[in-house]
Structure 1
């Protein structure tokens, strides 16, 4: 990262039902989960067309057949769920499509443009929440890293479930070099009540606010790459903001990165595009077209998270 070009980084929280099972609302997203394989395929095709190397942060349990009761692990003491491992999607007999994706690694490695495969935990455990001890974090990260190694992968990057940062030292001890930090907005990084954050996010989206651009932050041997913008889906209330908001905001963020030589870090969950796949993939493609134009003008470059450590 020694030249003065701006940087575009794209990270994808790849989780299927693992992202919602502890909130007891998997059914609200079932159609989107079922559409996710097609969404992933479409994303891979777009990334090949526009030469985008993204970071796919995956919940490693997507690669594991749930044939045991996780008796070797201890459940965190979260206030919103009685027994973490007793409530896992696979334990409760959910449809395989919602929690098992053995095809995922092969599809990502088949992309013509190299894709980075990082981690989003083993079971999407919220590492920064009260009730997640260091032991819980060590078990979660140890299993996740070992699972990827069994597939011939050495993960460098990590995305914290729900962006709840905690036990960063455990990541470093397991060979992780880079993690995505909270988005670089005052209300995301300051100690403000969670109830304030959703309306602030909605206002930023509705008024087409320019996203922040950032630089890596070093923390005792591990790098934090803060987020800049979430690509909002046409669901969960975001359909009430104009559809052009995310595209216009990304354009502003990319142009700011080009001017300053800093990083514009876009991120989203692939399953969220499964509610309105054609509409949302088209909106995302418009952003990738802007990236492509700036790359051709030699103003920015596309860098996956793991490359920051190099």
Structure 2
């Protein structure tokens, strides 16, 4: 078999931070993010990299009126009210002057035009799956709303990324029942284990930051196909490997260390014929777009070298379900090996 390079993106705009940030202060970031989506797509096409765009379903709408037709019939009833996107909208509104913060139908349509790019779901409302909430059917209703919104683009929602990496195994069956075949799970290491909002303590944050530059905790980032968890009646669980941190204007040394580490990890995955799963938010590129695009191209060039030297290939998240038999892990790996030979 060959090594596999996978990229998944959490595409959110303001839906990802409405409970933390002021949208007016994020205007330049969001507009830059929308501007560079075509540039990212061109880069992925140039280097033949398959990508899953896990997109908040609300971005599919063209305006507030269409958003209202998509929204779920049941809202989450969080114990912490500020986590509800719907209560936020009722309080702050979505005037047309803030179109760039809430909707991106043109960019979503563009994703669908590029081979190897998968449009997937990041839930409809950036739903928090580890936060306490009292409405039992709200998550199911949220996914149904995401699926309904995606019908506008004739895009079945087959892959999912849990917002804020709040991976919750109790929700896997609901995902599967709504057509989700693959979900992203968290990287190895105690500092990447799922936590609630505000649950990441100081040491956890320190280790996450340090891990981008140096080896900490003895955690390997690539893994064999046999590590992908296959359970009948549930989606495949595809672990993330590395969060791609954005370009740092304060330290060129940190930028070099970060890229060197990721390039090395891609090479190791190619040599060991393992999976390497890189992820980030398009918004992470919004503050320094040109520098971040240059950094991305460094990594894509490394993949291309590994493709030429070791035969490494690229799959989006949905392609794992296509190639892996979902009955038992050993059988899944055997089938994938046949496809890759």
Same fold per TM (> 0.5)? yes
Residue 157 (structure 1) shift: 0.6
Correspondent of 1:131 among 133, 152, 171: 133
Match of residue 212 from structure 1: 221
Match of residue 225 from structure 1: 238
Aligned residues of 1:19 and 1:124 also touching (Cα < 8 A): yes
Match of residue 26 from structure 2: 29
Residue 238 (structure 1) shift: 8.5
Counterpart secondary structure, 1:57: strand
Aligned equivalents of 1:194 and 1:187: distance in 2? 8
Does the C-alpha gap of structure 1 residues 285 and 248 become closer, same or farther in structure 2, counting only changes over 3 Å? Answer: same
Provide TM-score, normalisation by structure 1: 0.89
Aligned equivalents of 2:134 and 2:3: distance in 1? 37
Match of residue 53 from structure 1: 50
How many residues end up aligned between the 2 structures? Answer: 305
Residue 75 (structure 1) shift: 3.2
Correspondent of 1:247 among 234, 241, 259: 259
Aligned equivalents of 1:301 and 1:74: distance in 2? 41
1:159-214 per-position Cα deviation (integer Å, ceiling 9, x unaligned): 11001012111100001000000122232127896113211111212436685113
Counterpart secondary structure, 2:310: coil
- Larger mean CA deviation between 184-193 and 10-19 belongs to 184-193
Residue 251 (structure 1) shift: 1.2
Match of residue 140 from structure 1: 142
Counterpart secondary structure, 1:245: helix
Structure 2: state its 5+ residue gaps: 323-341
Aligned residues of 1:54 and 1:115 also touching (Cα < 8 A): yes
Q: Which has the higher helix share?
A: 2
Aligned residues of 2:60 and 2:103 also touching (Cα < 8 A): yes
1:38-59 per-position Cα deviation (integer Å, ceiling 9, x unaligned): 2111101101111111111111
Residue 66 (structure 1) shift: 2.0
Does the C-alpha gap of structure 1 residues 53 and 275 become closer, same or farther in structure 2, counting only changes over 3 Å? Answer: same
Does the C-alpha gap of structure 1 residues 217 and 239 become closer, same or farther in structure 2, counting only changes over 3 Å? Answer: farther
Match of residue 335 from structure 2: none
Q: How does 1:11-90 map to 2 (within 5 A)?
A: 11-64=8-61, 65-67=63-65, 68=68, 72-79=73-80, 81=82, 84-88=85-89
What RMSD over aligned residues (CA atoms) do the two structures have, in Å?
2.6
Aligned equivalents of 1:307 and 1:75: distance in 2? 31
Provide TM-score, normalisation by structure 2: 0.82
Correspondent of 1:285 among 272, 275, 297: 297
Match of residue 184 from structure 1: 188
Aligned equivalents of 1:39 and 1:77: distance in 2? 34
